[in-house]
Amino acid sequence: MTIIGIHTPETDEEKKPENVSRYVKERGITYPVLIDGKGENWRRWQQEYWPTVYLVDKRGHARYRWTGELDWKGAGGEEKMARRIQSLLDEK
């Protein structure tokens, strides 16, 4: 399994790599985080909202998408995504 983050900044402060690096370090994020300063990935994936989580299978196909905070108002997104991740990992 590979995890990557793509940060598309909204404000000038969010565009500064040093601010993103500090945020990532403060939160203990250990996976790579791409700074999409020009919004190229945002447009490529037809994003509408922050955050959005995609699960991509072993063949490179986007299989699941979650838009918004995973557990906003008890949505149970972390649990649902964990099950979907395990399902993808179990595939041959």
* Per-residue pLDDT tens digits for 47-56: 888 899 999 9
Co-location of 34 and 14 in the same domain: yes
Give residue 3's pLDDT: 87
Cα–Cα nearest to 57, from 17, 15, 86: 86
Residues 20 and 33 reside in one and the same domain: yes
Percent of all residues in the chain with a pLDDT value above 70, rounded to a whole number: 100
User: Same structural domain for residues 43 and 12?
Assistant: yes
Residue 10 corresponds to which tokens in the numbers above? 């909204």
The residue-averaged pLDDT of 65-75 equals 92
Domain boundary among the residues 14, 29, 47 is at 47
Both 28 and 63 in a single domain? no
Does 52 lie in the same domain as 34?
A: no
- CA gap 65, 60 in Å, rounded: 14
Closest to 4 measured CA to CA, from 27, 34, 25, 28: 34
What sign has the CA pseudo-torsion 47, 33, 79, 73? negative
Domain count, the chain: 2
Range of the structural domain that residue 77 is part of: 48-92
Note whether 85 and 60 are same-domain residues.
yes
